[in-house]
Structure 1
């Protein structure tokens, strides 16, 4: 995997060197984008759930990873499944970062972003296609989603599909709960799921 991480490169540099390196990195990113040399651009975003990795292809947002999932591991998986030319480049992800900031501030209820769904196929893709139909501030059970996806007995498989969702938050697997109303599992951890549900529920 070929990655360029500007934050690491700048870590030990003085102010002047940091400015020069940042400018050179910006030029590199722009040239790579303009020439179609990038498979994936990525950045991190600080959020109420901790640091989120955002990654995009020229098609759209392809991956959101929580810190507990391992950002480096997520990038390695992207390199294997999508392509090895990966660059830390915030600009293509400005829109996604802005919409996520609005969501966490309670000012956005739906996302309007181009998405790249190539990481999911088959039954898992059928499951994830149902999730945006679960409205903001509401929930559906794993059984509900299994029925909506046309496989009413595949409740556990729905749980697996939600757990493997490459675009959590934007594709709202956090709105899928157990039949008794308890949250159930979540790739970002149980507390992250509870936080998202509380956010969408609004003031008590």
Structure 2
């Protein structure tokens, strides 16, 4: 059996008001991962889980992607909506991640609402696990999911960032 060559991606770093963002894109400029620099080990684990061996080359993401990220953090809460993303994951995870992208900026949904939105109202825990395995934070807005009573629940980038992102989007709209 021949070993598959590693997936080749570009690793960009963009400064934001809440820390440096790591932005991983493929040769076509499609976003494969986005996370905060202090969560780089998590991002690397997710990339390895989804793609196997990866080769990250420092560089810049395509300008439209960089511009979208900068515009989002600059106050345009909808700047990320059209950015192309590709996520490996299971079919269920991809279904959850697609549903996340349908949550409008400045709004939140509970895990139960998200489960109902994908037609699986009893899969609340599985939706939570898929949400936590999202490799493309912010663009696939897992920060917009809250507890059933509206409380802040876990966020891979930290609850303070989650609060900031939600307040940032609310203020921008």
* Correspondence list, 1:71-150, <5 A: 74-75=43-44, 78=47, 81-90=51-60, 92-111=61-80, 112-118=82-88, 120-150=89-119
Higher relative contact order by CA 8 Å / sep ≥ 6: 1 or 2?
2
> Can you list the C-alpha shifts for 1:157-203, whole angstroms capped at 9, x where unaligned?
11111111111110111111111111211010000100011011117
Larger CA Rg, structure 1 vs 2: 1
- Describe the SS at the equivalent of 1:41: strand
The alpha-carbon deviation at position 54 of structure 1 amounts to: 0.6
**Structure 1: 5+ residue stretches without partners:** 1-36
Residue of 63, 68, 71 corresponding to 2:33: 63
Normalization by structure 1: what TM-score? 0.72
Cα distance in structure 1, aligned partners of 2:33 and 2:131: 14
Considering fraction of residues, name the structure with more helix: 1
Q: For residues 57 and 83 of structure 1, do their structure 2 counterparts lie closer, same or farther at Cα, with a shift above 3 Å needed?
A: farther
Q: Identify the range of structure 1 (77-86 vs 155-164) with the bigger mean alpha-carbon deviation.
A: 77-86
Normalization by structure 2: what TM-score? 0.84
Residue of 37, 44, 51 corresponding to 2:13: 44
Q: Identify the range of structure 1 (40-49 vs 92-101) with the bigger mean alpha-carbon deviation.
A: 92-101
Cα distance in structure 1, aligned partners of 2:47 and 2:147: 30
Q: For residues 76 and 186 of structure 1, do their structure 2 counterparts lie closer, same or farther at Cα, with a shift above 3 Å needed?
A: closer
Cα distance in structure 1, aligned partners of 2:114 and 2:77: 24
The alpha-carbon deviation at position 139 of structure 1 amounts to: 0.9
Coordinate RMSD, CA, aligned: 2.2
